[in-house]
Amino acid sequence: MTDDDLASMVDEVLAVDPQEFQGEVEAEAEVIKRELADGVFDNPQAIVGFEYEFYAVDAESSALARVPRRLLELIGFEKELGLHNAEMSTSPQPLNRHGLAAQESEVKARLSAAENRTSTEGMRLVSDGLWTIPPEGETAREYLTDSVDDDGTRIASNMSDSVRYHAMANAAGKSGTAPAGMELDGPHVSLSADTVMPESLITSIQPHYQVPHARDLPTYFKYAVRIAGPLLALGVNSPFYPPDLYDEDATPDEIVEDAWMSNRIDVFESVLNASGDTGDKVRFPDEFDTVEAAVDAIAADETIVPMPVEPASRFDDEFAHFRLKHGTYWRWVRPVFGGATRSAANARIEFRPIAAQPTVRDGIAFQAAFAGLLESMFRREHPVRHLDWVIARDNFYAAMRDGLDADLYWIANDGAETTDTETLFADLFAHAKDGLTSRGLSEEEAAKYLWPLRQRARHRVTPAEWKRREVRERLDEGASFEDAVVETQRTYIDHQEETLIEGSFADWVGRGSTEL
């Protein structure tokens, strides 16, 4: 697709009337609520799914690499924001021993096949939270901000041809739409862009959990919100930006000391939230008392890009405007209503805080922990549901900044409030295991899924902390900050080449020889 074609399509999107679009969204929200009342979104059992994002690098230099569109088609992955991105989504499976095994096997099979193909192109797909080595011959600042003006329409040079993403940069000031901030504002980092391309710094995993009965969604959601902070603390994997994005007056010691363990959270929020008094589009989620209120919350969210709707035959095309609106309902945990057919209709929870992890096994561990926790906490009416929402939110952002060193508040199974990390994670893992065994996994199988995360909690080492230690060691040996970050990233990629499919992060830190 040429820039002219893309600009023309962006102009068509910008011609959609926001008020008319919102009217369609509100009407379709009523359709969803009627279907909810009829039980259409109920399932006979819990079902899980998984989204997995990657970025590509040059196999020799580890520098960021653009993925040819033909290659994406060959490996069966989907495009994401940047030309360097690739994404896969698993087929939904029942939450049981066979379903979880199928999730892991599908990821491994597709990723292994993709790696075989990309290697012939001199590339590797990397599972990580935030890339730090820009393409060869370019700075990260240049790569993220390069754009052209095509007869008044701003087109990002290194963004995929997704019309919605390009339209975001051109919707500012249009009545009835919410602008994006298009900037980075992290510790010792500042960058302004003309597009949302800086968001392509980050990649994630996103476990999904389909609730059996849609009416129970608010209760499951309440638990998902409260486990977000502790699970984020275990999964932090993005302490550093590309070195050329740091302010010139920041010293290496200041950068390392002040680094947030999950800069990925801040990148998404600062790029897509407008500056000023506008309500944040990306944020820790509010709760809702009824499933209908969840539908209303999505419908009432500010529209960032109203999109034209093409007629189609899926069941959820009956609420196609609502689905498009949901695409920019950016919350770190969010409800989803969809289904290709009436029999496949579902209400699910999408868990978005976790960065892509060092290995497949680590990523699947988060999927298993998330699903197991929702199963057990809902069934046993865990008292953490009484933890104040404000505290749950503060836990989340404390985990973003400090990882496992964060001060987290918790209500344990016996109802006692605690800030003791060992007590918190003992309770968390006990219920995750209980939830998995209640779905037919053996004690040994459940323990094996959770083992990579237990090791992190027990030894207080996350991928982010590993990166920070590696950078510190190189600085102590006399390396420049840029060299320390680049060499740490290359070491990360080298370790991953050996362990991505069959190993775990515990192998990197000498904890992989025995299992619980």
pLDDT tens-digit readout, 390-422: 999 999 999 999 999 999 999 999 999 999 999
514 confidence band (pLDDT: 50, 70, 90): very low
How many CB atoms are closer than 10 A to CB 125? 26
Tell me which residue of 109, 377, 516 sits closest to 101, measured CA to CA: 109
- Give the domain CATH number at 357: 3.30.590.20
CA 271/CA 199 separation, integer angstroms: 6
pLDDT in tens, 22-33: 999 999 999 999
12-21, 263-272, 349-358: which has the minimum mean pLDDT? 12-21
Domains contained in the chain, number: 1
Is there a domain that residue 79 lies in? yes
| pLDDT over threshold 50, residue 515 | no
Nearest to 457 by CA among 231, 203, 187, 246: 231
**Quick check: is 513 in a domain?**
no
Q: How confident is the model at residue 169 (pLDDT cuts 50, 70, 90)?
A: confident
CA distance 267 to 273: 10
How far apart, in whole angstroms, are the C-alpha atoms of residue 96 and residue 200? 34
Rounded Cα gap, residues 470 and 450, in angstroms: 26
DSSP codes joined into one string, 251-272: -HHHHHHH--TBHHHHHHHHHH
- Of 449, 441, 498, 488, nearest to 467 by C-alpha is 488
- The DSSP element (H or E) to which 491 belongs, if any, is helix 481-499
pLDDT at 3: 66
The span from the CA of 88 to the CA of 435, in Å, is: 26
Which whole number is the average pLDDT over 77-82? 94
Domain membership flag for residue 514:
no
Statement: residue 248 has pLDDT above 80 = yes
**Which burial class, exposed, middle or buried, applies to 477 when counting CB atoms under 10 A from its CB (0-12, 13-18, 19+)?**
exposed
- Looking at residue 7, its pLDDT comes to 87
SS3 at position 429: helix
Residue 516 falls within a domain, yes or no? Answer: no
Residues facing 57 on adjacent strands: 64, 124
Q: Which band of pLDDT confidence, cut at 50, 70 and 90, is reported for residue 52?
A: very high
Distance CA 94, CA 210 (A): 9
Average pLDDT over residues 307-316: 88
What gap in Å lies between CA 295 and CA 26, rounded to an integer? 10
DSSP 397-417: HHHHHHGGGS---EE-TTS-E
- The C-alpha atoms of residue 234 and residue 455 are separated, in whole angstroms, by 10
pLDDT per residue over 496-513, tens digit each? Answer: 999 999 999 999 998 655
Mean pLDDT on 12-29: 94
Least confident interval from 11-15, 324-328, 361-365, 380-384: 11-15
Residue 175 has pLDDT above 60, yes or no: no
CB contact at 8 A, 210 and 338: no
Mean per-residue pLDDT, 43-52: 94
| 195 in Cβ contact with 156 (< 8 Å) | yes
Pick from 75-84, 167-176, 320-329: least confident? 167-176
172: domain range?
A: 3-508
3-class DSSP state of 387: coil
pTM (global) more than 0.85: yes
Rounded mean pLDDT, 267-281: 82
Q: DSSP letters of 305-317?
A: ---------SGGG
Q: At 14, which helix (H) or strand (E)? A: helix 3-14
The pLDDT value recorded for residue 278 is 56
DSSP 8-state code for residue 437: H
pLDDT of residue 80 exceeding 60, the answer is yes
pLDDT at 76 over 50: yes
Report whether 28 contacts 178 (CB < 8 A).
Answer: no
Please give the average per-residue pLDDT across 355-364, as a whole number.
98
Q: How far apart are CA 212 and CA 375, in angstroms?
A: 10
- What is the per-residue pLDDT for 51? 98
Q: Strand 205-210 and strand 346-351: pairing?
A: antiparallel
Residue 515 lies in a domain: no
Number of H helices, E strands in the chain: 18, 13
Which pLDDT value is given to residue 370? 98
Q: How confident is the model at residue 516 (pLDDT cuts 50, 70, 90)?
A: very low
With a cut of 90, say whether residue 313 has pLDDT above it. no
